[in-house]
Structure 1
Amino acid sequence: MQPLGRILTNKKSIKHQVSQGPPVAESCSHCGHRHVVGGPVWSAPIHDREFLSSLKESLVEEDFTTYRRMLGVISMMEEELPDVPLYYVLDRLARVASINLCKMVQFRSALLNAGYRVSLSHADPASLKTNAPARVVWDVVRAWERQQPARKTPLPADHPARFILQQDMGTEVNFDLHPNANPESRKKELLRFQVKPEKFWGPKSRAKTSLLHGTLEEKRTRNQGKKRRQPSPQPSAVTKQPREQSPPKVTQQDQQVV
C-alpha cells in the first residue's frame, strides 16, 4: 500500500506533498504478473474503540428487536485490527492458488503461531485481517498445499498459481490450534453477520383482485400447469352455408357497348 501524499511539519509551517514511489518492481514478486493499481482507500483506523465500547454498553435488549445483531456486529468491530486497513478473503486465496485451502481456524492458527496478529472483518465472513506480510500469507498457502496435495494435472506454465506454489518458503508454518484462533464473538455464538433472507423474500407481483384465497405458495401450486390442463378447442360439426353472390352491377358504359 502506498499513500497518495505526505505531510511535512516543522516549527513554523505544515507542507503537503505528493508521495514518492511506488516501491515495487515492474512485476509482482508473488505471482510474476504485472501490478494492478487500485484505490484510493482509507488507510487510517475506521473504528473508534472508546465509542464502540460505550455504544455496546448502552444497548438494552428490551429496546431493540435487532439487539443480538447489533451486539454481534459491534463486538466484531472491537476485535478488528485497527492498524490493518485491508483484508484477505480465504476463498479468494484458494482460487488464486487453485487449491482446496484449510479452514479459517487453521489459517488463523498458522499466522498466530508465526508471531503475527490476526482478526476477522465485519464486512465478510471469510475475511482475514493480519499484520503479516504477503510473503508469510502465501507461505501458509504453500505449506498447506504441500501437506495436502490435491491437484492431479499440472498447471499451465504462465498460471499465477504455479509461480506462487513453486517458490521456496521462508516461514516455518505450524497449523496446530492456537488458543486465540477462535475469536470471542464466535465462542459466545453472537449473531455477527446478516441473517439470510427468508424464502420468497424478494419483490412480489403487483396486487390483483381475486376471489381465491390462500398464500402465494398455494396459488403458485394451484396454477402450475394451468395452460396445459385447458382443453384444446374442437372443430365445429356444423358446416357453414356458402354465401349467396349478388349479381354483378351493370354500368352505363356496359349498356352502351350492348
Structure 2
Amino acid sequence: MSDGASRTPPHPYERVAAAFRERIADGTWPPGHKLPSRTELGAEFGVGENVVRRAQEVLITEGLLEGRPGAGTFVRPTYDKRTMLRTPPPGVPRPGVAPAGFEGIWESDSLAKVPAPADIAARLAITPGDACVRTVYEFLAERQPVLLATSWEPMAITDRTVIVLPEGGPLAGRGVVERMAHIGITVSRVTEVPRPVRLDDAQAQLLGMRAGAQALRIMRTHYDTTGRPVETADIVVPDERWEVTYDIPLPIPASG
C-alpha cells in the first residue's frame, strides 16, 4: 500500500481551522475582526456548529483567536503592554489591587462568611475554615478585561464594622490601609510574592484569552504593626498585557 493511500484524511475541524488560519494570515480577517456566527460558518463550510466550535478552540489555544463572553469570537488584536508600577514614587498611593495610575474601571463581588482555604488561612495566620470576606475583582480598560484579583479579609477583624465589605459602605474602594485605619488598625507593611503561572480555563474565559497563557500571580499581604496579617490577595497579571515594574528608591550617599 502506498504512503498516499495510507494517509488518514484530515478531520473536518482541521480543514476548517486551516481555512481560518489562512484568512488571518492574508488579512481577510484582520486583528479585532469578529467572526461570523457558528451557524453562518457551518453553512459556509458544510459542517456542523460543533465542528466550527472545535476549530475555533484550536485557534484560541494557538493564540490566533479569542473568545469574549457574550460578544463572540474575535481575531486576537495586538495589545500594547501597560506598565504596572508596584513601588510607586513618593506622593503616589502605595500599590493596591488596582495598579498605580490605573484609569480603567473595575467590577467587584464580595461574599461574606466564606471558609478560608488552607493556603489562604496560612497566609492570614488563621485556622482553615475561619470565616472571611472574599472579594473578586475584574479590571477593565477600554471595555476589555485586563486584570483579575481575589482579596481575602478575616471576619474576626472586620465583622460588625462599616468596612466589612471592601467595596461597600462609607469607605468603599478606599483600599486596605485607609479602611483598616478607620477601625483603629495601622497597616505598617505589605509583602508581595510574584510567581509565574498559566491561566486556567476560568481565568482565560474572563480575560478573553487562551487557557495556558503566561501570567504573573502576585500574592500580596498587608500586615499591621503587631505583624498580624489583615488582608491577602492574589493578583493575576496577564503577561501579554502588562509589564510589571518594581521601582526601588535608594538612599543618596552623604557627600564628603
TM-score range (shorter-chain normalised) is under 0.3
User: Rg bigger for which structure?
Assistant: 1
**1 or 2, which has the higher strand percentage?**
2
